[in-house]
Amino acid sequence: MVNNQPPEEERFEEEPPLEAFMEEEPPPKTRPLRKAVVMIVAAVVALAMLVQGSAFLFQHFSLDALRFTSESQQLEKEGDFEPFKEAVVAVQTDRGHGTGFIISESGDVLTNEHVIRGASSIYVHLPDGERYEATETKTDETNDLAMLALEGQPDNLPTLTLADTAANPGNTVYVIGHPMTHSYITNKGEVKESNDAYQVLAITNAVFPGHSGSPVLSEEGEVVGMVYARTSGENGNGEGLAVPLRQIHTFVEDDSGT
């Protein structure tokens, strides 16, 4: 009888597949604490967004906002402020926003020093929607003045003219700015007093956050001051305090820099 079996040492069995050596991993355990933390963080973020949205709506539709937007619309019907508004800009930083105005066709912008103080980025928004990155070229902390230069060297920009003579008590003045969440709001008032000793021009125009750096214009449309603060009036309503014309002229004409 013939033995057809291979020798003992040559006998082998087929190696089982790799899967046979692998144990099925149990499903991952849930981490209730981690899930709870994620849910809490999400809730906090949602609440913060809700609060921000509510604050925006409260400012945008507050009684003050309704008053000054209504006044601005009425003034626009009575006079042509468009040529002056074209030279008024919004100054946006990583710390907040304010107003400014262009004084040269190449893009020299005046605003308050406190508007850009401590900012790591500065952007200037023009009425036509153009946005420029800006750098400060000089500042005067004492008089709260700053000069900005627009990147990209624009030209033929609309400008405002500095008046040759200061405004007197009783003179009508206009302020164009970006109060609260609104843009290009015009209001009317008059000069209460101009005190060079205290370097302040007091005006009856209502002023709100965002108005800082706004031009104070004469009836001829020339700059006679720049809003920098407001008085503390009843119910939070305050009248404007502005940097007088003389200080602005001195700052602009001084070539010594910061």
Q: Any catalytic annotation for residue 182?
A: no
| Residue among 114, 178, 214, 218 flagged as catalytic | 114
Q: Any catalytic annotation for residue 194?
A: no
| Residue among 178, 194, 211, 212 flagged as catalytic | 212
Burial 174-183 (b: 16+ CB within 10 A, else e): bbbbbbbbbe
Q: Any catalytic annotation for residue 144?
A: yes
| Residue among 72, 144, 178, 218 flagged as catalytic | 144
Cβ neighbours for 25, distance < 8 A, ≥ 6 positions apart: none
Q: Helix H segments across the chain? A: 32-60, 63-78, 82-85, 113-116, 245-253
Separation between Cα atoms, residue 183 and residue 220, nearest integer Å: 22
Neighbours of 171 (CB within 10 A): 15
Active site residues: 114, 144, 212
